Amino acid sequence: MAGIRLHVIAPLALAAVSKCARDPAVYVRRCAANALPKLHDLRLEEHASAIEELVGILLNDHSPGVVGAAAAAFTSICPNNFKLIGKNYKKLCQILPDVEEWGQILLIGTLLRYVVARHGLVRESLMLSIHGTNSNGFCEKDGLGRDLTLDKEDGGKSDSFDVNLVSLVSKCYIQGPDEYLSRSSCTDTVSSAFDTKETTSIAHNEDVKILLQCTSPLLWSNNSAVVLAAAGVQWIMAPLEDVKKIVKPLLFLLRSSSASKYVVLCNILVFAKAVPSLFAPHFENFFICSSDAYQVKAYKLEMLSLIATTSSIASILREFEDYIKDPDRRFAADTVAAIGLCAKRLMTIPTTCLDGLLALVRQESFAGDFESADGEAGVLVQAVMSIQTMIERDPLRHEKVLIQLFRSLDSIKVAAARATIIWMVGVYCSLGHIIPRMLTTITKYLAWSFKSEASETKLQILNTIAKVLISAEAGDFHMLKRIVVYVFELGEYDLSYDIRDRTRFLKKLLSCKLASHEPAEDSVASQENIAAHVVEHVFGRKLKSVSPITLHNRFYLPGSLSQIVLHAAPGYEPLPKPCSFVYEEQDQLSDLDKQREAAADLDGSEESSETGDENGSSDYDSESSNGSDFSSEGDERTVSNDANDPAAPLIQISETSVSADQEELRSRRALDLWLDDQPSTSNQTPSALNSNQSSYAKISIGDVGSRVKPKSYSLVDPGNGSGLKVDYAFLSEVSNVSPLHVCVEVLFENSSAEPILEVNLEDEESMKVADSSEQTLVGKANASYNNIPTLIPMEEISCLEPHQSTKRLIQVRFHHHLLPMRLTLHYNEKKVPVKLRPDLGYLVKPFSMSIEEFLATESRLPGMFEYSRRCTFDDHVKDSRTENGKDKFLSICESITLKVLSNSNLHLVSVDLPVANSLEDATGLRLRFSSKILSSEIPLLITITVEGKCTEVLNLTVKINCEETVFGLNLLNRIANFMVEPSSSAT
Amino acid sequence: MLQCIFLISDSGEVMLEKQLTGHRVDRSICAWFWDQYISQGDSFKALPVIASPTHYLFQIVRDGITFLACSQVEMPPLMAIEFLCRVADVLSEYLGGLNEDLIKDNFIIVYELLDEMIDNGFPLTTEPSILKEMIAPPNLVSKMLSVVTGNASNVSDTLPSGAGSCVPWRPTDPKYSSNEVYVDLVEEMDAIVNRDGELVKCEIYGEVQMNSQLTGFPDLTLSFANPSILEDMRFHPCVRYRPWESHQVLSFVPPDGEFKLMSYRVKKLKNTPVYVKPQITSDSGTCRISVLVGIRSDPGKTIESITLSFQLPHCVSSADLSSNHGTVTILSNKTCTWTIGRIPKDKTPCLSGTLALEPGLERLHVFPTFKLGFKIMGIALSGLRIEKLDLQTIPPRLYKGFRAQTRAGEFDVRL
Give me the half-sphere count of Cα atoms (radius 13 Å) on the Cβ side of residue B74.
22
Give the distance from CA A153 to its chain's centroid. 34
- According to the model, what pLDDT value does residue A711 have? 66
Calculate mean pLDDT across residues A687-698: 42
Query: Domain B4-126: which CATH class?
Result: alpha beta
Give buried/exposed letters for A239-274 (b at 16+ CB in 10 A, else e): bbebbebbbbbbbbbbbbbbbbbbbbbbbbbbbbbb
Query: What does the alpha-carbon distance between residue A943 and residue A959 come to, in Å, rounded to a whole number?
Result: 5
Pick the more confident residue, A950 or A857.
A857
Calculate mean pLDDT across residues A169-178: 54
pLDDT digits (tens, 9 = 90+) for B364-408: 777 888 888 999 888 888 888 888 888 887 777 888 888 888 888
- According to the model, what pLDDT value does residue B111 have? 86
Q: How far is A205 from chain B (nearest CA, A)?
A: 23
Query: What does the alpha-carbon distance between residue A297 and residue A288 come to, in Å, rounded to a whole number?
Result: 6
Give buried/exposed letters for B356-381 (b at 16+ CB in 10 A, else e): ebeeebebbbbbbbbbbbbebeebbb
Judged against a pLDDT cut of 60, whether residue A756 lies above it is answered with yes
Give A29's strand partners. Answer: none
Query: What does the alpha-carbon distance between residue A697 and residue A716 come to, in Å, rounded to a whole number?
Result: 47
Q: Is A307 in a helix, a strand, or coil?
A: helix
- According to the model, what pLDDT value does residue A546 have? 43
Query: What does the alpha-carbon distance between residue A914 and residue A690 come to, in Å, rounded to a whole number?
Result: 9
Task: Report in angstroms the alpha-carbon separations of A376 from A213, A366, A373.
Answer: 52, 11, 6
Per-residue HEC secondary structure of A533-576 comes to HHHHHHHCCCCCCCCCCCCCCCCCCCCCHHHHHCCCCCCCCCCC
* Partner-chain contact A296 B231, CB within 8 Å: no
β strands within B267-302, DSSP E:
274-283, 286-295
- According to the model, what pLDDT value does residue A817 have? 66
- Non-local (6+) Cβ contacts of A400 within 8 A are none
Query: Domain A844-980: which CATH class?
Result: alpha beta
Q: Residues 189-218, chain B: which have Cβ within 8 Å of A?
A: 190, 192, 194-196, 200-201, 205
Judged against a pLDDT cut of 60, whether residue B162 lies above it is answered with no
Pick the more confident residue, A412 or A606.
A412
Percent helix, strand, coil in chain A, to 5, is 60, 10, 30
- According to the model, what pLDDT value does residue A349 have? 64
pLDDT digits (tens, 9 = 90+) for A469-479: 777 666 667 77
**Which of these ranges, A543-547, B136-140, B295-299, B400-404, has the smallest mean pLDDT?**
A543-547
pLDDT digits (tens, 9 = 90+) for A380-398: 777 777 777 777 766 677 7
Query: What does the alpha-carbon distance between residue A154 and residue A129 come to, in Å, rounded to a whole number?
Result: 7
Nearest CA in chain A to B163: A27
Query: What does the alpha-carbon distance between residue B223 and residue B233 come to, in Å, rounded to a whole number?
Result: 14
Q: Residues 271-300, chain B: which have Cβ within 8 Å of A?
A: none
Do residues A550 and A543 touch, judged by C-beta distance below 8 A?
A: no
B233: contact with A, CB 8 A cutoff: yes
Do residues B354 and B320 touch, judged by C-beta distance below 8 A?
A: yes
What confidence tier does A182 reach under pLDDT thresholds 50, 70, 90?
Answer: very low
Calculate mean pLDDT across residues B54-76: 85
* Domains B179-269+381-414 and B274-377 in one fold: yes
Calculate mean pLDDT across residues A760-775: 52
Pick the CATH number of A706-766+788-838 from 3.40.50.970, 2.60.40.1150, 2.40.37.10, 2.60.130.10: 2.60.40.1150
Neighbours of A788 (CB within 10 A): 13
- According to the model, what pLDDT value does residue A803 have? 75
Judged against a pLDDT cut of 80, whether residue B78 lies above it is answered with yes
Q: State percent of chain B over pLDDT 90.
A: 0
Judged against a pLDDT cut of 50, whether residue A669 lies above it is answered with no
Considering only CB atoms, which chain A residues are within 8 Å of B79? 102, 105, 225
Please name the member of B74, B194, B235 whose beta carbon is closest to the beta carbon of A562: B74
Give B206's strand partners. Answer: B187, B264
Query: What does the alpha-carbon distance between residue B200 and residue A316 come to, in Å, rounded to a whole number?
Result: 10
Calculate mean pLDDT across residues A932-945: 81
- CATH, domain range B274-377: 2.60.40.1170
pLDDT digits (tens, 9 = 90+) for A568-591: 767 677 666 666 665 443 333 334
B348: contact with A, CB 8 A cutoff: no
- According to the model, what pLDDT value does residue A530 have? 63
* Partner-chain contact A263 B43, CB within 8 Å: no
Q: What φ, ψ does residue B5 adopt, rounded to 5°? A: -125, 130
Do residues A302 and A337 touch, judged by C-beta distance below 8 A?
A: no
Pick the more confident residue, A347 or A892.
A892
Considering only CB atoms, which chain A residues are within 8 Å of B237? 100-101, 221-222
Calculate mean pLDDT across residues A249-260: 81
Helix H or strand E segment including B8: strand B2-8
What confidence tier does A615 reach under pLDDT thresholds 50, 70, 90?
Answer: very low
Do residues A930 and A714 touch, judged by C-beta distance below 8 A?
A: no
* Partner-chain contact B73 A565, CB within 8 Å: no
Judged against a pLDDT cut of 50, whether residue A524 lies above it is answered with no
**Which of these ranges, A216-220, A278-282, B145-149, B209-213, has the smallest mean pLDDT?**
B145-149
Considering only CB atoms, which chain A residues are within 8 Å of B414? 322, 325
Judged against a pLDDT cut of 70, whether residue B96 lies above it is answered with yes
Query: What does the alpha-carbon distance between residue B233 and residue B375 come to, in Å, rounded to a whole number?
Result: 23
A55, A241, A210, A187: which is closest to A118 by C-alpha?
A210
Calculate mean pLDDT across residues B305-321: 84
- How many contacts (CB atoms, under 8 Å) link A and B? 204
| Order of all β-strands in the sheet with A830-836 | A797-800, A756-763, A821-827, A830-836
Judged against a pLDDT cut of 80, whether residue B234 lies above it is answered with yes
Mutate to test the interface with B, among A290, A331, A372, A611 (most CBs of B within 10 A): A290
Helix H or strand E segment including B14: strand B14-19
Considering only CB atoms, which chain B residues are within 8 Å of A570? 72-74
Give B330's strand partners. Answer: B336
Q: How far is A73 from chain B (nearest CA, A)?
A: 10
* Partner-chain contact B235 A367, CB within 8 Å: no
pLDDT digits (tens, 9 = 90+) for A865-890: 787 888 877 777 665 555 555 567 77
Pairing label, strands B179-193, B398-414: parallel
Q: Is B303 in a helix, a strand, or coil?
A: strand
Judged against a pLDDT cut of 60, whether residue A557 lies above it is answered with yes
Judged against a pLDDT cut of 50, whether residue B274 lies above it is answered with yes
- According to the model, what pLDDT value does residue A535 have? 63
- According to the model, what pLDDT value does residue A237 have? 77
Calculate mean pLDDT across residues B276-303: 83
Give the distance from CA A430 to its chain's centroid. 56
Please name the member of A260, A290, A321 whose beta carbon is closest to the beta carbon of B412: A290
Range among A81-95, A228-242, B321-335 rated most confident = B321-335
DSSP letter, residue B160? P
- According to the model, what pLDDT value does residue B226 have? 86
Task: Report in angstroms the alpha-carbon separations of A150 from A131, A143, A146, A206, A241.
Answer: 12, 15, 8, 19, 10
Q: Is B143 in a helix, a strand, or coil?
A: helix
* Partner-chain contact A287 B235, CB within 8 Å: no
Considering only CB atoms, which chain B residues are within 8 Å of A561? 49, 56, 71, 74-77
- Non-local (6+) Cβ contacts of B304 within 8 A are B341, B342, B374, B375, B376, B377
- According to the model, what pLDDT value does residue A579 have? 62
With 0-12 / 13-18 / 19 or more C-beta atoms within 10 angstroms meaning exposed / middle / buried, residue A465 is: buried
Q: What's the complex ipTM?
A: 0.87
Nearest CA in chain B to A298: B43
Range among A161-165, A787-791, A826-830 rated most confident = A826-830
Pairing label, strands A199-200, A121-122: parallel
Judged by phi (left if over 0) then psi (alpha if -120 to 50, else beta), residue A559 lies in: left
Helix H or strand E segment including A173: helix A163-174
Task: Report in angstroms the alpha-carbon separations of B116 from A224, B110, B119.
Answer: 21, 10, 7
* Partner-chain contact B366 A325, CB within 8 Å: yes
**Which of these ranges, A317-331, A524-538, A854-868, B92-106, has the smallest mean pLDDT?**
A524-538
* Partner-chain contact B367 A371, CB within 8 Å: no
Query: What does the alpha-carbon distance between residue A874 and residue A98 come to, in Å, rounded to a whole number?
Result: 42
- According to the model, what pLDDT value does residue B172 have? 67
Pick the more confident residue, A718 or A648.
A718
- According to the model, what pLDDT value does residue B150 have? 57
Please name the member of B43, B361, B366 whose beta carbon is closest to the beta carbon of A327: B366
* Partner-chain contact A228 B78, CB within 8 Å: yes
Neighbours of B412 (CB within 10 A): 24
Calculate mean pLDDT across residues A614-624: 38
With 0-12 / 13-18 / 19 or more C-beta atoms within 10 angstroms meaning exposed / middle / buried, residue A409 is: middle
The number of residues in chain B equals 415
Average pLDDT of chain B to the nearest whole number: 82
Q: Is A724 in a helix, a strand, or coil?
A: strand
A570: contact with B, CB 8 A cutoff: yes
Query: What does the alpha-carbon distance between residue B276 and residue B373 come to, in Å, rounded to a whole number?
Result: 11
B85: contact with A, CB 8 A cutoff: yes
Calculate mean pLDDT across residues A301-308: 83
Nearest CA in chain A to B263: A222
Calculate mean pLDDT across residues A238-255: 80
Q: Residues 57-96, chain A: which have Cβ within 8 Å of B?
A: 63-65, 69, 72, 76
- According to the model, what pLDDT value does residue A634 have? 37
Please name the member of B77, B201, B233 whose beta carbon is closest to the beta carbon of A287: B201
Query: Domain B179-269+381-414: which CATH class?
Result: mainly beta
pLDDT digits (tens, 9 = 90+) for A948-962: 777 777 788 888 888
Judged against a pLDDT cut of 60, whether residue B108 lies above it is answered with yes
Q: Which amino acid is at B136?
A: A
**Which of these ranges, B3-12, B185-194, B232-241, B392-401, has the smallest mean pLDDT?**
B392-401
With 0-12 / 13-18 / 19 or more C-beta atoms within 10 angstroms meaning exposed / middle / buried, residue A433 is: exposed
Calculate mean pLDDT across residues B65-75: 85
A107: contact with B, CB 8 A cutoff: no
pLDDT digits (tens, 9 = 90+) for A98-154: 888 888 888 888 888 888 777 776 666 655 554 443 433 333 333 333 333 333 333
∠ CA A387-A389-A392, nearest 5°, is 105
DSSP letter, residue A486? H
Cα-based torsion angle of the residue sequence A343, A344, A349, A353 in order, rounded to the nearest 10 degrees: 30
Do residues A425 and A406 touch, judged by C-beta distance below 8 A?
A: yes
- Non-local (6+) Cβ contacts of A881 within 8 A are none
**How does DSSP assign A745-778, residue by residue?**
EEEEEE-SSS-EEEEEEEEHHHHHHHHHHT-S-H
Query: What does the alpha-carbon distance between residue A419 and residue A406 come to, in Å, rounded to a whole number?
Result: 11
Task: Report in angstroms the alpha-carbon separations of B183 from B180, B241, B403.
Answer: 10, 20, 6
**Which of these ranges, A485-489, A529-533, B78-82, B88-92, has the smallest mean pLDDT?**
A529-533
Calculate mean pLDDT across residues A623-635: 38
- According to the model, what pLDDT value does residue A643 have? 37
- According to the model, what pLDDT value does residue A534 have? 64
- According to the model, what pLDDT value does residue A724 have? 75
- According to the model, what pLDDT value does residue B389 have? 85
Judged against a pLDDT cut of 80, whether residue A684 lies above it is answered with no
- According to the model, what pLDDT value does residue A365 have? 59
Please name the member of A97, A225, A318 whose beta carbon is closest to the beta carbon of B79: A225
Neighbours of B13 (CB within 10 A): 12
Calculate mean pLDDT across residues A236-263: 80
Give me the half-sphere count of Cα atoms (radius 13 Å) on the Cβ side of residue A512.
20
- According to the model, what pLDDT value does residue A159 have? 37
- According to the model, what pLDDT value does residue A718 have? 66
Per-residue HEC secondary structure of A153-167 comes to HHHHHHHHCCHHHHH
- According to the model, what pLDDT value does residue A389 have? 74
* Partner-chain contact A567 B51, CB within 8 Å: yes
Pairing label, strands B232-235, B249-252: unpaired
Q: How far is A303 from chain B (nearest CA, A)?
A: 17
pLDDT digits (tens, 9 = 90+) for B131-150: 877 777 776 666 666 666 65
Query: What does the alpha-carbon distance between residue A644 and residue A504 come to, in Å, rounded to a whole number?
Result: 70
- According to the model, what pLDDT value does residue A795 have? 67
- According to the model, what pLDDT value does residue B241 have? 83
Do residues A273 and A252 touch, judged by C-beta distance below 8 A?
A: no
List chain B domain ranges: 4-126, 179-269+381-414, 274-377
